[in-house]
Amino acid sequence: MAGQEDPVQREIHQDWANREYIELITSSIKKIADFLNSFDMSCRSRLATLNEKLTALERRIEYIEARVTKGETLT
């Protein structure tokens, strides 16, 4: 009987080891996904801010170009 329990116990230990490994991989994938989502939101926010600044600069350039075309002074 003891000879039959050894392979069963080995299978049980291997099963637990496999489950722990799968849990580790799953946890790592979740951490990577969380990081990527956070990175995405950060990039979108920074790009939106940059877009606002560029839009303001474009408006200012258009205004200055219009004044120069009309021959107005910039002061």
pLDDT bucket at 70, cuts 50 / 70 / 90: confident
Tell me: pLDDT of 73 over 70. no
pTM over 0.75: no
Helical spans, DSSP H, in 1-75: 2-70
18 token code pair: 């496999």
75 pLDDT band (50/70/90 cuts)?
low
CB-based burial, 4-33: b 16+ in 10 Å, e otherwise = eeeeeeeeeeeeeeeeeeeeeeeeeeeeee
Of 11, 7, 72, 21, the residue nearest 63 (C-alpha): 72
For the chain, the structural domain boundaries read 28-74
